[in-house]
Amino acid sequence: MNPLVRHLRPFTTEWLFDRPGDVGPDTGPAGEQTMRNRLMTDVARSRGSVRRPAPAMRPVVEGLEGRRLLAASVEVTSLLNNSVVPDGDDTPSQADGTDLGQTPVAGASPFRSFRVTNTSAADDLELGTLMVPAGFQVEKGLPPLLGPGSSDVFTISRAQDAQELREGVVQFTTNAPNAEVYDFAVRGEVVPAVADSDNVFEDVPSFTDEGAVGFRSGTDGDGVPVEEAGTELVRFNVPAGEAQVGFTLSAAFAAGGSPNGAFGATADVELLVARDEDEDGQLDLDELQAPLTTLLAPPDGSRQERTVTLGAGTYFGVLRTANFAVTDGAVEQPFVNIDYTLAAELEAVAAPGVAVTFAGTSVPDGDGSPSRDEGTDFGTVQVGQARPERRFTITNSGSADLELGAVTVTGPFQVVSAPAATVAPGASTDLVIAMATSSLGDLAGGVSFSTNVETRNPFNFELAGTVTETPPPTAPEITVSLDNGGGALADGQAAVVQFGNSVQGQPGATRRFIVRNDGNGPLQLGAVAVPAGFTISEPLAATLAPGESDGFTVTLDTGALGERTGAVVIPNGDADEDPFDFNVRGVVALPGATPEADIAVVVDDVALSSGQTVDFGAAAVGTPGPQRVVTLRNDGSASLSLGTVSVPTGYTLVAGPALTTLAPGGSTTITIALDSGTVGTFTGQAAVVSNDPDENPFALNLTGVVAAEAQPSPLDVSDVTGKVPAVVIAGDRRARGSVAFRVTNTTGAPFAGPVTFTALASGDAAPGASDVQLVSVTRNVKLKAGASRAMRLKFAFPPTVPQGDRNVLVTAAADRSSDTAAGPRVSVQAPFVRLTGLPAGAPAARPLAFGRRAAFAVPLQNVGNVPTSRTPATYTLAVSRDGTDAGQVYQTTATGRLNLRPGASRPQRVSVTFPPGSFPAGTYTLIVRLNAELNQTNGDTVALIPFTIA
């Protein structure tokens, strides 16, 4: 019997000798032998290699003129089961080795080998650099060239550096038609290690474990890498308190030494002790990487001892080879096979223990995720309410006195009752903590106190809670507006709602009005009264819940000639707008009368009369001036033609009307801004020319102030919070956000009037000339003395926002004064693409021929912040004798399209044909540069590709 086979029975390994007709020692049918470990499965890093008959060559194809059409062809097969791995295969399988399966953290990285064959009868197969996804590594690469009918093997492995599933694509370039980039998917997972049931020792004063570990490394007869390892895992525990654990480890080569126990190599046995930190009974990678102690035993039978003090908990002992060294370089596969004996004695020592609970639920040391069950999340309370308290019980779970230090808390938390300084074994004490309710928001903090428990000093955990605003008293708030975007009406407004001209005996003009409850209490509505000459054809609901709305329709009665005017009156339950009234006007003309256009102008949802004033408020000199959006609507019975829009000095027409002809009921908008470059008070008349017979031009008296210094504002902006991404790309459709804030009347008198709310992107906490306006809206605000209300603004980050960190500022401007508060901070980036080459080892020189097309795979990655979506790219290809510009002998260009998301990497295919005689035959380097839209590395070298040409 082969000694390695005999003594590796306990190892974490399965070996398959699967060469057809090749029978290893002690093998079963078909030359196959399987050995499995008691602990883990399938940690073998190689499955041997397969030597198989050469595949049938593809037939030579004759051209129409008798010439052979030669083409390289490629096939990839797995050495695991001799099956073909198709190009583009995206379903990894354990049968063919593309799925490397699950490897325990203490096991060895599995190897998988694949054979690449040139199935062409006449053409060479050119191969590019082998590329593997993150988490995999190349153990043996590919040659640059395979002759007709020849093959070679490449080997990959799964790195053991992360406990997770890794998957991706293995790929290499070829000159085979339809297989220029040959790729297939692979996957592999590192999972926690679990001790076999006979290697688990719980609640025992001592234990002994005997087993074997081993290691083999080298190549097989075909030069394929081979690596195999055997590992053992034991699990034990310290039931309570602390224990002194004495480990004794001895080791000897199996069967007394070489050749049964070692062949061409030597090694030690290593014991590694790690704590099961999460108490899940499994050894995780982070636990393996933080051992508490280690012990080495040489294979000479000597006893090695180590004593450590361990606290209550579960522990793992990992036994494996260490210091593997080759002693005979002539041996293809040197190996060691070492028997070991591990003994452990546990002696309890008097030591304190500490456990914290809330209402019977454990609170772990270092807990960073506050929860209601653990009492570390204090829940939600309203500002100013009694502070909530939590009582935590601290218990001494050990056998000696527990010493507790002073309790430290952070954030809006307070110690109400501190625990006792000394706690006897088995006894407990209480710690009471309260959360302050004076500050709004999501609150966070922590608790920490020192102990004399070595592994729990200090003991700490995090706290959280939320304090919300006190709900305002419930009250209704009536809002009345014209339907179809006609704008809001003000109670008792001077502007008249026009019904235009209607013909006697014909259907009269109608206007529909929407009543909405913008308060937080039910709004009671009475019967709507209209003046003589008007009728209501749709009544209102009697009650509107908060946020609900209803509509009513008023129709001009055309039974009698003449002008009809009067007030529409809406009885309601709003304390300060009962009744809500506004004036209407309409004219009934004789049949045959000429229809007339009638211009209506709406600013900030309020319909205005010609000559009425529009107040732009105040702006600091050099800051973005406030803007007003003016709606122009046709309330007449004929088309409204809009002419010139003029504005006075000190103002700018930011946007003119999008439409110059409005059908009856149609509307458009214009935007006017106050220029803030010069200090002063700016008044003047804006005029809108139209074909309205009695309001041409329609005049608006504009007034605004540009002040050198901000004047005391009657309003205070505070509590600015926001929902904005941490990083935005200016102008991107996803660069959006909102801010919520509170505006307060700081005066001793009621405030009522228009307030312009503006959100700015600023480089600091104060408005400035370089700030960019995100949004600006004007609202009619009514606030009693000292009262406040919550507001919200939504906005987008336009392309004009400069790069860098920006504060979102909220400004409230009223009565020629303003107040500003800073909100969330955001990092603004300009969109860019940054294409770079991928770091890789120098590939072997590829053989090329003049006059024949050659395809290169240029590995690129996009480290920019926006994708390239079929972005055109121009490649500059320079042929150089030595890889430098000085050695350049020829240059050409090629084009392509790029598809790379931010952070993605992928080879980009570039094809080129070098004309005969364009430069001498020889060995060269192709210098690859590219140019693409938004790319920051245009003109930089992204690849150096060696080649030979004849």
**Residue ranges per domain, the chain?**
41-191, 197-349, 355-468, 478-592, 601-707, 715-829, 835-949
Sorted by sequence, the CB contacts under 8 Å of residue 199 that are 6+ apart come out as 38, 39, 209, 232, 233, 234, 235
What does each C-alpha distance from 666 to 16, 631, 634, 659 come to in angstroms?
82, 10, 6, 10
Helix (H, G, I), strand (E, B) or coil at 30: helix
Going by the DSSP 8-state scheme, the letter that residue 17 receives in this structure is -
User: Would you state the torsion angle of the CA atoms of residues 842, 843, 847, 849, taken in this order, to the nearest 10 degrees?
Assistant: -80
| Sole residue written with tokens 């055309």 | 558
Cα separation, 723 vs 441, in Å, equals 14
pLDDT number for residue 64: 29
What does each C-alpha distance from 236 to 194, 269, 273, 283, 318 come to in angstroms?
12, 20, 10, 12, 11
Q: Considering only the top CATH level, what class is 478-592? A: mainly beta
pTM of the model: 0.41
Q: Considering only the top CATH level, what class is 835-949? A: mainly beta
Cα 24 from chain centre = 53
8 A C-beta contact, residue 163 and residue 155: no
Q: What is the mean pLDDT of each run of 10 residues along the chain (950 residues)?
A: 32 33 35 30 32 35 36 91 94 94 89 95 93 93 95 94 92 92 95 93 93 91 86 91 89 69 91 91 92 94 92 92 92 92 89 90 90 93 90 91 93 93 94 92 92 88 91 83 76 82 85 90 92 89 92 90 90 91 87 77 80 88 87 83 93 92 84 91 94 90 82 81 81 78 88 88 82 86 86 84 88 80 85 78 76 84 78 89 91 85 79 90 92 86 89
Cα separation, 437 vs 388, in Å, equals 8
CATH architecture of 601-707: Sandwich (2.60)
pLDDT number for residue 645: 94
Homologous superfamily (CATH) of 715-829 is Immunoglobulins (2.60.40.10)
pLDDT number for residue 485: 61
User: Within a 10 A sphere around the Cβ of 344, how many other Cβ atoms?
Assistant: 22
8 A C-beta contact, residue 516 and residue 572: no
- How far the first Cα of the chain sits from its last, in Å, is 56
Pick from 391, 388, 420: nearest CA to 407: 420
pLDDT number for residue 921: 92
Helix (H, G, I), strand (E, B) or coil at 45: coil
Cα 946 from chain centre = 39
Cα separation, 315 vs 204, in Å, equals 13
Homologous superfamily (CATH) of 41-191 is Immunoglobulins (2.60.40.10)
Alpha helices in 264-387 (DSSP H): 285-288
8 A C-beta contact, residue 630 and residue 681: no
The reply to whether 41-191 and 835-949 are identical in fold is yes
8 A C-beta contact, residue 119 and residue 77: no
Q: Which two tokens stand for residue 877?
A: 């290809």
With 0-12 / 13-18 / 19 or more C-beta atoms within 10 angstroms meaning exposed / middle / buried, residue 881 is middle
Fold of 197-349: Jelly Rolls (2.60.120)
CATH architecture of 355-468: Sandwich (2.60)
Cα separation, 183 vs 174, in Å, equals 11
8 A C-beta contact, residue 78 and residue 96: yes
Cα separation, 932 vs 900, in Å, equals 12
pLDDT number for residue 42: 32
8 A C-beta contact, residue 686 and residue 648: yes
Backbone torsions φ then ψ of 122, nearest 5 degrees: -140, -25
Cα separation, 750 vs 814, in Å, equals 14
